[in-house]
């Protein structure tokens, strides 16, 4: 089996011309997005969102994500085991992940989250396993981390993850921690929480992290922006986040869109200039 990552041989045209956005983290394979997908995608295109990174969370979902990526050229698959499902990692799953991973643009989402009732020993084992695979395959990593930033940074260092880099998804840490992850080769992702009325840390991230290290995401169907709270989130609403970042930094929306999209292309090593 060839280990050449999918993105290097992928015929798909992911991204529109400058000014279009990529949702760097959305669960289009999960309900309620899955059953309304044609409409969800149309709505996203109309809003200028032309690329969608869909991360895996559990082995059972990987075939569904593969099928979506085959059906829709702008869906970029990633494969991984979420910390909440860390206990599903074993040798067999690891072999399966390797087969899937090389068809994706990244490995993930993986990481650490003490809020889940899954032992941190199991979470750390699954996380390290996935980081090693990413380094072996030359694939970037999508990281889920809440309240375990120091530990995650230490593990990234130990596993030499700077060789592949990746994205700190829906980052909820401090600007100081963000700088540490940037030094480790990771981009910092801002989600719809930056639009929430009670947002504090995301505002600091949006203001203080250099734009060349920021990417945007919805984490749909979760983290709905303030204006639509109470309804499930969808990729079109990444515009709310882009707009808020533009306001906070006092720069044009077009600059936020162009630079964060270029950042996703760079981090995930996507073909550029297509479509
Ligand atoms: Zn997610």
Structure confidence by residue, pLDDT tens digits, 53-96: 999 999 999 999 999 999 999 999 999 999 999 999 999 999 99
Contact 22, 262 (CB under 8 A): no
Q: What is the DSSP letter of 265?
A: H
Quote the pTM value.
0.92
Q: Where are the domains of the chain?
A: 6-267
Tens digits of per-residue pLDDT, 108-156?
Answer: 999 999 999 999 999 999 999 999 999 999 999 999 999 999 999 999 9
Give 204 Cα–ligand 1 centroid separation in angstroms: 22
pLDDT of residue 275: 33
CATH number of 6-267: 3.40.50.10470, 3.20.20.140, 3.10.580.10, 3.30.300.20?
3.20.20.140
- Residue 111's region, left for phi above 0, alpha for psi from -120 to 50, else beta, is left
The answer on pLDDT for 274 being more than 50 is no
Q: Tell me what percent of the residues of the chain surpass a pLDDT of 70.
A: 91
- Residue 107 in 3-state DSSP? strand
Tokens of 138: 């030359």
Give 82 Cα–ligand 1 centroid separation in angstroms: 8
Give 26 Cα–ligand 1 centroid separation in angstroms: 7
Give 202 Cα–ligand 1 centroid separation in angstroms: 17
pLDDT of residue 19: 57
- Please return the burial class of 26, using the count of CB atoms within 10 Å of its CB with bins 0-12, 13-18 and 19+: buried
The Cα–Cα gap between 114 and 84 comes to 9
pLDDT of residue 4: 38
What mean pLDDT value characterizes the chain? 91
Cis omega (within 30 of 0) for bond into 109: yes
């Amino acid at each position: 089996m060839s280990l050449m990552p999918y993105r290097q041989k992928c015929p798909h045209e992911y991204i529109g011309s400058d000014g279009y956005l990529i949702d760097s983290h959305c669960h289009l394979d999960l309900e309620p997005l899955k059953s309304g997908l044609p409409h969800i995608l149309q709505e996203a295109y109309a809003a200028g969102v032309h690329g969608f990174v869909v991360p895996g969370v559990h082995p059972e979902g990987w075939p569904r994500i593969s099928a979506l990526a085959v059906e829709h050229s702008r869906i970029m698959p990633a494969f991984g085991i979420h910390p909440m499902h860390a206990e599903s990692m074993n040798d067999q799953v690891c072999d399966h992940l390797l087969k899937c991973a090389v068809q994706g643009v990244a490995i993930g989402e993986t990481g650490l989250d003490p809020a889940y009732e899954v032992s941190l020993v199991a979470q750390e084992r699954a996380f390290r396993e996935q980081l090693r695979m990413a380094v072996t395959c030359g694939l970037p990593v999508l990281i889920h981390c809440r309240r375990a930033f120091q530990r995650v940074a230490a593990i990234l260092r130990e596993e030499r993850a700077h060789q592949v880099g990746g994205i700190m998804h829906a980052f909820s840490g401090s600007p100081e921690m963000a700088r540490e992850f940037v030094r480790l080769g990771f981009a910092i992702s801002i989600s719809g929480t930056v639009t929430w009325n009670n947002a504090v840390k995301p505002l600091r991230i949006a203001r203080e992290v250099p734009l060349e290290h920021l990417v945007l995401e919805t984490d749909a169907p979760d983290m709905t922006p303030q204006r639509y709270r109470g309804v499930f989130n969808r990729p079109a609403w990444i515009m709310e986040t882009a707009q808020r970042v533009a306001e906070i930094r006092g720069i044009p929306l077009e600059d936020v869109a162009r630079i964060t999209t270029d950042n996703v292309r760079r981090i995930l090593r996507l073909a550029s200039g297509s479509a």
